[in-house]
Amino acid sequence: MRVIYFTLCAIINIAVLILAIYARRFTQGSQNKFFLLIVWDTFLSAICDFICTYLQVYAGAFPHKSTILFVSTTLYFIFRNFTMVALCMYVFFLTNFIYVIQEKSLKGRFLSVLIVVPYILNVILIVANIWTGWIFTIDENSIYHRQKLIAFNYVVAFIYTVFGIAVLIAFHKALSKSRIYAIAFMYILSISSVFIQFFYPHLMVEMFATSIALFETMILIQRPEELTDSSTGMFNISAFRKHGKNLFLNKNPASLIFIRITNGKTLLNALDYETYSECLTNINSFILLALKEQKTKGQLYHLQKGRFAILFKGEYTKRSLFFANHLLKTLPRTFKLKNITIETDYKICHTIYDNNSKNSDFNSFKELMVLAENFDKILKSEKDVITFKDAKSKEMLKQSVSIDSILMEAISNNLFEMYYQPIYSVAEHRIISAEALIRLKYDGKFISPEFFIPAAEKNGLIHQIGDFVLESVCQFIASDKFKETGLDYIELNLSVSQCMESGLADKIHNLTKRYGISSDKINLEITETAIDSSVNTMLNNIQKLSSLGFSFSLDDYGTGYSNIKRVVTLPLKIIKFDKTFVNEVNNPQMQIVLKNNIEMMKEMKKEIVVEGIETNEMLKVFSDYHCDFIQGFYFSKPLPVNDFCSWVDNWKKQA
């Protein structure tokens, strides 16, 4: 007597699996779609199997019973044989072998034909069985009989199993060990159940074993929790990476919209987890609704820290650009959550990818990811949707991607150079000092320190760059050229990581000793970000250097949170007012801030430098505010050391 219960359990198992897949919206992307196809195929096979067994074993005689049995058995064969093909294709997806097949080359075409031919032959044979009866027959008592060519089904299943395993072995590097074990287990389970059922047909464990294999795959390979945000249920950055990678492997055109909540990080820090997630979910729902309303097909992702991406597959450029503009205008700026009102603002970028076109904004996966995470740093725009307007944008993106190797090359080939920008003393009417500013010329073009210094901080090369700056500045101060300029000291920028170097004080002290320079010839500029990190090592460095006679400036004052406690407690000699004060000087509110800040600093016996002075008018304004020192393009842009010395020489002659 055949055991039908295994098949019944299989149907229940797979139904649960299907519900779970749809409930978790795990239906996007080729791999998911393929997995879903296998699950549905197994479900239909199990239903047909159940009907066949039920009719043979339990149902009494009724009209057309043999015909129904014949049809359901034929369908069972078609669906069941497809499972092995689909399983094999699933392995192709996991290992990315699918892209070799999809290539439009001769090899690609040959492989795709090779892969579909056995299944097509098998289907022809199964359909032809209606007339030939070579695979199975149903007799007048509705009893099923295997026929000789049934073996062909097994041969085809065997071929696809061999295909799948061969690709798995050849492309195993594309998969993690756990995934390889999971697929191997899936095959072992499926193959052994086929053998069991072949030798013990009454046991009928095949469908049950397949359903377990699918569950195992869902848990170990598909892992929906890896691709979705647990709190918002949205696709996360891993999903974006995965689907983004497929874009390049497929070489299909696509356009993308990147969205950043400009105060995303602040919200993350200020709000509790639930409120923050609710805020994201609201934005998510708004975008999904807008996509629906505009009849635009795009996949939405929440990347990280208030960054979103929408991927539009295919040539959708005009529509997606329209949608980006629509979002910029309509995205909600105010949320009322619990009892709090949250204000948000957005930056939006629109880019296109087309492997076959020169108009493609980016050409590699790395570029895509850099863009997704930094588009607003790489491409500048104030109001509109940010796009790649010119060749410079592409150049910037390329540099962002390869900045690590550029910096390594620059270090080994000495591509850095120090420039000096004069600083004018209002009281003494002379050039009293200069700020040392690093320059990097790569491929004939300058790369801004504002861009490469943060990158060097991230990759750790800042220490080598910082050493170069220290050495060059000391060399200059020790030279006769410097003495001839008559400058009192040089201002030198210290990066955040340098401030945290444990041996920094000794390093600077030893270097100045080696060059025979007194410590009052160097003023070290530190930023508020460095001070805010407030690590003991940094405080020790400042104290030690200060006791050795080095003075300190607080750079970019007015751009950060301007922590007054730090200004009071740290041994700062100079406060450098940032360019933003200069840009806003016509604003009456800013004038109040400026006047009072200057007075406050003066009372604390601090000296004041103003940066970014470009006109005579500005020079007059800030001199009247009693600033001590002025720096800016009005006097000179930063210059290479020899040009700088000649410039000072000329200035002295003219003065």
83 counts as binding ligand C2E under rule CB under 6 A = no
Tell me the DSSP string of 135-152: SEEE-TT--EEE-TTHHH
Give the one residue of 72, 161, 493, 631 binding Mg ion; rule: CB under 5 A: 493
In whole angstroms, the minimum distance from the beta carbon of 95 to Mg ion comes to: 52
* # binding residues, ligand C2E (CB under 6 A): 24
Contact pick of 284, 495, 523, 546 for ligand C2E (by CB under 6 A): 495
Among 469, 490, 641, 648, binds ligand C2E (CB under 6 A): 469
Token pair of 22, please? Answer: 């749809």
Site string for Mg ion, 505-544 (x = CB under 5 A): --------------------x-------------------
Q: Does 438 bind ligand C2E (CB under 6 A)?
A: yes
Q: Which of 612, 629, 630, 641 binds ligand C2E (CB under 6 A)?
A: 612
Name which of Mg ion, ligand C2E, none residue 400 binds, using a CB cut-off of 5 to 8 Å depending on partner kind.
Answer: none
573 contacts 606 by C-beta, under 8 angstroms: yes
Q: In what order do the strands lie in the sheet with 299-302?
A: 299-302, 307-313, 254-261, 346-353
CB of 559 to Mg ion, least distance (A): 12
Residues 298-327 that bind ligand C2E (CB under 6 A): none
Q: Which is nearer to ligand C2E, 253 or 612 (CB)?
A: 612
Residue spans of beta strands (DSSP E) within 204-292: 254-261
Chosen from Mg ion, ligand C2E, none, partner binding at 49 (C-beta under 5 to 8 Å by type): none
Angle at 459 between CA 457 and CA 460, to 5 degrees: 65
Smallest distance, Mg ion to C-beta of residue 527, A: 8
* Closer CB to ligand C2E, 315 or 457, in the complex: 457
Residue whose CB is less far from Mg ion, 308 or 550: 550
* Residue pair 571/542 in contact by the 8 Å Cβ criterion: yes
541 touches ligand C2E by CB under 6 A: no
DSSP for residue 301: E
Q: Is 534 in the site for ligand C2E (CB under 6 A)?
A: no
**Which residues pair with residue 347 across a beta bridge?**
260
Task: Compute the C-alpha angle 42/47/52, nearest 5°.
Answer: 125
Task: Provide the terminal-to-terminal Cα distance of the chain, rounded to the nearest Å.
Answer: 113
Binding mask 564-583 for ligand C2E (x = CB under 6 A): ---------------x----
* Residue 638 interacting partner from Mg ion, ligand C2E, none (CB closer than 5 to 8 Å by kind): ligand C2E
User: Which positions from 398 through 427 interact with ligand C2E, judged by CB under 6 A?
Assistant: 421
Alpha-carbon distance values, 486 to 258, 430, 480 (Å): 52, 10, 10
Among 315, 376, 614, 649, binds ligand C2E (CB under 6 A): 614
450 lines the binding site for ligand C2E (CB under 6 A)? yes
Give the phi and the psi of residue 387 in degrees, each rounded to 5: -135, 170
Question: Which one, of 487, 490, 491, 492, lies nearest residue 432 by Cα?
Answer: 487
Q: Is 641 in the site for ligand C2E (CB under 6 A)?
A: no
Give dist(CA 102, CA 120) in Å, integer. Answer: 19
Residue bearing tokens 């320059």: 439
Q: Is 632 in the site for ligand C2E (CB under 6 A)?
A: yes
Q: Provide the minimum distance between the beta carbon of 316 and ligand C2E in the complex, in angstroms, as a whole number.
A: 39
456, two tokens: 């060097």
Q: Annotate 321-342 with DSSP letters as a single string.
A: HHHHHHHHHHS--EEEETTEEE
Which window, 287-295, 296-304, 446-454, 540-548, contacts ligand C2E (CB under 6 A)? 446-454
Q: Which of residues 50-69 bind ligand C2E (CB under 6 A)?
A: none
Minimum distance from residue 218 beta carbon to Mg ion (Å): 56
Decide if 35 contacts 70 (C-beta within 8 A): no
Distance CA 323, CA 316 (A): 10
Instruction: Give the E-state strand segments of 488-585 in sequence order.
Output: 489-493, 522-527, 551-557, 574-577
Per partner kind, with CB cut-offs from 5 to 8 A, the member of Mg ion, ligand C2E, none near residue 438 is: ligand C2E
CB nearer ligand C2E, residue 254 or residue 473: 473
Single out the residue of 267, 437, 504, 598 in contact with ligand C2E (rule: CB under 6 A). 437
CA distance 134 to 25: 43
Q: Which residue, 493 or 551, is less far from Mg ion as judged by CB?
A: 493
- Is residue 421 involved in binding Mg ion (CB under 5 A)? no
Can residue 434 be called a binding residue for ligand C2E (CB under 6 A)? Answer: no
Q: Does 278 bind Mg ion (CB under 5 A)?
A: no
- Asked if residue 98 binds ligand C2E (CB under 6 A), the reply is no
Structure tokens, 244: 């983004």
- β-sheet bridge partners, residue 492: 436, 524
3-state secondary structure (DSSP) of residue 373: helix
How many other CB atoms are found less than 10 A from the CB of residue 58? 9
Q: How many CB atoms lie within 10 A of CB 59?
A: 14
Interface contacts to ligand C2E, rule CB under 6 A: 421, 436-438, 448-450, 453, 469, 493-495, 525, 555-556, 579, 611-614, 631-633, 638
Query: Would you tell me which residues interact with Mg ion (CB under 5 A)?
Result: 493, 525, 555
